[in-house]
């Protein structure tokens, strides 16, 4: 595999693990950390003690807090920031990146206010050539397992087949298998909405509802996500893939899932301000629940799980009251 120049924007757990993955594969990686003191500590100690402790950054990874320097003359720029920061951050580097740079988005969420996917945000702020060739990475991957070198499979979506193929060939490793698809919208919708369902699955576990209830919620959550995605123009089969059911199952059931942990705490009686104060990283599902609730109302799609999660998280409706409302909905055909 030839050496590639890559910038990873965002030094949380997932950004750090991707930088490690690409560095260990022999690529030259610039890892951007917005806090200068934290960037210096990461560069010096070679360990992200806050977000990914116990794993050493390879020598091929250099850490810095200069955003322009990080992305300049890079073949790939991988965005791994909270979704609500994408517009501001990538707006700063829109005219700094080389016109042939391939942007790879690994953030998951919908933009508050506009209700846009990250693809739409890119089209709004990036030069046309870069936006048209942007790709979107999503699938069932926990940072600690990637950092440990454990096998994983993920999907890369993009509208330009040559760009997708170039990224797939450059970044696939023995333990990180990349599939490609042209369904950008489906991949982004699945990656965003699964976080909302994961909060619900965690909440069911926190209430002690058991495995039957968790799997029922995951299954009906998938039906809801698919219904929304298809209404927006996505391909139904995308939601049966890695960025759909694959990511959904992992996020709803894995102990490393931040969104599931939010749900667990809600089910155990904690309030949202207390839960958020205890978290060191963003649980995307909290913000996405609000945006998703507005989106389904706009497009006229029935989404009872999203509506219930919105009521609990953003309106303060008691958990058991909201869940009772969900469980007592009229019976219906499974395919509706």
pLDDT value at residue 2: 62
CB 100 within 8 Å of CB 125: no
Give the residue extent of every domain in the chain: 5-182, 192-327
pLDDT at 280: 78
Question: Fold for domain 192-327?
Answer: 1.10.1040
Residues annotated as catalytic are 194
Q: Is the Cβ–Cβ distance between 60 and 26 less than 8 Å?
A: yes
Residue 212, pLDDT score = 95
| Segment 102-161, tens digit of pLDDT | 999 999 999 999 999 999 999 999 999 999 999 999 999 999 999 999 999 999 999 999
How far is it, in rounded angstroms, from Cα 42 to Cα 281?
17
Contact 278, 264 (CB under 8 A): no
Nearest one of 252, 290, 237 to 109, comparing CA atoms:
290
Looking at CATH, the fold of the domain delimited by 5-182 is given as Rossmann fold (3.40.50)
The Cα–Cα gap between 237 and 194 comes to 16
Condensed to tens digits (0 to 9), the pLDDT of residues 145-175 reads 999 999 999 999 999 999 999 999 999 999 9
CB 189 within 8 A of CB 229: yes
Per the CB < 8 A criterion, the answer to whether 195 and 108 are in contact is yes
Burial class, 167, CB count within 10 angstroms (exposed 0-12 / middle 13-18 / buried 19+): buried
Q: Check residue 211 and give its pLDDT.
A: 95
Place of tokens 């759909």: 244
β-pairing verdict for 61-64 and 47-48: unpaired
Q: What are phi and psi of 114, to 5 degrees?
A: -80, -25
Same CATH fold assignment for domains 5-182 and 192-327: no
Those residues of the chain that have pLDDT short of 50 are: 1
Task: Judge whether 159 and 183 are in contact, CB under 8 Å.
Answer: no
Contacts with 328 (C-beta within 8 Å, 6 or more apart), sequence order: none
Give the model's pLDDT for residue 223. Answer: 97
Supply the pLDDT for residue 18.
Answer: 98
- The structure tokens listed for 161 are 């087949």
Q: What local confidence, expressed as pLDDT, does residue 281 receive?
A: 78
Res 279: pLDDT: 84
């Amino acid at each position: 595999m030839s050496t590639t120049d890559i910038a990873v924007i965002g030094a949380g757990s997932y950004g750090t693990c991707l930088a490690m993955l690409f560095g260990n594969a022999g690529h030259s990686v610039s890892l951007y950390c917005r806090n200068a003191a934290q960037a210096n500590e990461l560069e010096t100690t070679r360990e992200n003690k806050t977000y990914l402790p116990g794993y050493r950054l390879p020598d091929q990874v250099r850490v810095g807090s200069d955003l322009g320097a990080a992305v300049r003359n890079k073949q790939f720029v991988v965005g791994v920031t909270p979704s609500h920061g994408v517009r501001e951050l990538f707006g700063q580097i829109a005219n700094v990146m080389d016109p042939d740079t391939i942007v790879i988005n690994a953030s998951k969420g919908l933009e508050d206010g506009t209700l846009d996917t990250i693809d739409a945000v890119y089209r709004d702020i990036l030069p046309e050539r870069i936006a048209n060739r942007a790709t979107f990475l999503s699938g069932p991957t926990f940072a600690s397992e990637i950092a440990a070198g454990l096998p994983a499979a993920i999907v890369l979506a993009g509208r330009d087949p040559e760009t997708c193929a170039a990224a797939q060939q450059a970044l696939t490793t023995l333990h990180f298998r990349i599939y490609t698809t042209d369904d950008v919208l489906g991949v982004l919708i699945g990656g965003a909405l699964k976080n909302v369902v994961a909060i619900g699955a965690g909440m069911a576990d926190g209430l002690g509802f058991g495995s039957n209830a968790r799997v029922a919620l995951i299954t009906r959550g998938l039906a809801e996500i698919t219904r929304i995605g298809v209404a927006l123009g996505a391909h139904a089969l995308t939601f049966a893939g890695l960025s759909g059911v694959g990511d959904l199952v992992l996020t709803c059931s894995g102990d490393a899932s931040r969104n599931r942990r939010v749900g667990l705490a809600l089910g155990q009686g904690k309030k949202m301000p207390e839960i958020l104060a205890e978290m060191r990283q963003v649980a995307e599902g909290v913000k996405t629940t609000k945006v998703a609730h507005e989106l389904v109302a706009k497009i006229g799609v029935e989404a009872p799980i999203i509506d219930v999660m919105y009521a609990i998280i953003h309106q303060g409706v008691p958990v058991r009251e909201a869940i009772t409302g969900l469980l007592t909905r009229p019976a219906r055909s499974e395919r509706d």
